[in-house]
Amino acid sequence: MKKSAFIIFFSFFFSAALSADNMLVRMMNELAGDNCAEGGIKIEIGADVNGDGTLEDTEVDNGQTKYVCNGENGENGSAPAVSVAVADGSYCSGAGGIVVTVGGDDLPVCNGQPGANALIKTTELAAGNGECPCSNGCIKVEAGLDNKTANGTLDANEVTKTEYVCNGENGSNGKNALSKITEITDETTSCKNGGVKIEVGVDVNNNGELDANEVTDTKYVCNGKNGYVGEPGDKGEQGEPGIDGQDGATGPQGEKGDQGPKGDQGEQGATGATGEPGKDGSTSLVAVVDEPKGENCAAGGKKIEVGLDANGNGVLDEEEIDLESVYYVCNGRDAEEAGLGSSASGCSLESIDENGTLISAVFALLMAVFALFALKKSRN
């Protein structure tokens, strides 16, 4: 009975005392062991970080964990009467609270006063200004509580902590990503009916060409198989009779002859021969040309043109280009040209990784180009 009364009192006490700071208390049975020889209650305290009203394991402040251990079993006694009431001004002024009465003793539990907001102020400092300790400049970070003026601004007399975050060294210029497309005209293992081979990589030696040792990934876009000749279609319905020709000149009227008998209707003629099969469709082609710096690519790049080989010469001529299927793969700009030589936030530029997301994006674009072009032609 004593244990139950104590738990009730302790629960009311901690829940009231910690609610003002959004703190939570969790109690569970503690088995007999190193913490409590006779077992007892384990009390865990922590802030409700996710605001779900439940103290999660990750929110427990282990430094605040307490144990209320059972004593040795004794004679049963009578439990004191426990009651809880709202505290009036004689107990808690301003913030209010509750009064827990155990037996004849009143225990007030008052709400805490609202705390001041924590504020942070950052200031960018140039190198060599006398305050910044960094060779490439830095960011001055000041922190404190808005407890002087409560105006939402961190004033000088409210600063309690100052740190400096140094800018990093200037990064080296990145390498350009390149792509190379080669047409496959003969039968190979990769493409039985021909197609194009697409190679991508980073221009390590900066010569503007994708050398063999710079290729990091290769993909193939193969032509489809030629379709089979279809079966002859069913015989069409007989057409409407043609228009009668003009009447000839009227001849001299002959003598009236006897009326002859009506003749039988002749049989329908045989079906004509099937026409020759139609010609095969045109092959789809892709051409890649250099794109100079300009409106389409600020740093230059490659222009990808797609169309059908209407004249069958194996070359994508200008009049065969589908103007709605022209795409651009642009080079990245140099760091100095883009104005990113150094970072004011402590970050630095790094070279494009050979297996980076830009290469993956190039492949994704090329695969989407062929898929959209094929879908468009199939609908036409």
Taking only the tens place, the pLDDT of each residue in 56-91 is 888 888 888 888 888 877 676 666 677 777 777 777
Residue 373: the pLDDT is: 66
User: Regarding predicted confidence, which is higher, 264 or 14?
Assistant: 264
For 232-237, what is the mean pLDDT?
Answer: 83
pLDDT at res. 104:
73
- The 3-state DSSP class for residue 132 equals coil
Q: What is the pLDDT of residue 213?
A: 93
Cα–Cα distance, 346 to 170 (Å, whole number)? 10
The percent of residues above 90 in pLDDT, for the chain, comes to 6
| pLDDT at residue number 2 | 44
Do 104 and 52 share a structural domain?
yes
Q: Is 154 exposed, middle or buried (0-12, 13-18, 19+ CB in 10 A)?
A: buried
Q: Looking at the structure, do residues 128 and 57 belong to the same domain, yes or no?
A: no
Whole-angstrom Cα distance, residue 86 to residue 71?
33
CA distances from 36 to 67, 173, 273 (A): 7, 64, 104
pLDDT value at residue 170: 76
In a domain, 48, yes or no: yes
What does the pLDDT read at residue 29? 92
Mean pLDDT of the chain: 77
**Does 200 lie in the same domain as 96?**
no
How confident is the model at residue 164, as a pLDDT?
Answer: 84
Does residue 31 register a pLDDT over 70?
yes
Which of the pair, 77 or 256, is modelled with greater confidence?
A: 256
Q: Is residue 135 part of a domain?
A: yes
215 and 294 in a common domain = yes
Domain total in the chain: 3
Same domain membership, residue 43 and residue 144: no
> Per residue in 125-180, pLDDT tens?
888 778 888 888 899 888 888 876 778 888 888 888 898 888 887 777 778 898 98
Contact residues for 183 (Cβ-Cβ < 8 A; gap 6+): 194, 195, 196, 197, 285, 286, 314
Rounded-to-integer distance, Cα 210 and Cα 203, Å: 6
Determine the structural domain holding residue 49 and report its residue range.
2-110
Is residue 261 in some structural domain?
no
Q: Does residue 75 share a domain with residue 9?
A: yes
Two structure tokens written together for 228: 């089979």
Are residues 73 and 141 located together in one domain of the fold? no
* 16 or 73, higher pLDDT: 73
pLDDT average, residue stretch 295-310: 88
What confidence score (pLDDT) does residue 380 get?
60
Are residues 92 and 19 located together in one domain of the fold? yes
Q: What is the pLDDT of residue 7?
A: 47
d(CA 69, CA 32): 9
Compare 202 and 257 and report the one with higher pLDDT: 202
Within this chain, do residues 197 and 292 fall inside the same structural domain, yes or no?
yes
Say if residue 51 is in the same domain as residue 150.
no
- In this predicted structure, the answer to whether residue 17 has a pLDDT above a threshold of 50 is no
245 is a domain residue: no
| 50 in the same domain as 198 | no
- Asked whether 221 and 371 are in contact (CB, 8 A), the reply is no
Verify that 36 and 92 share a domain, yes or no: yes
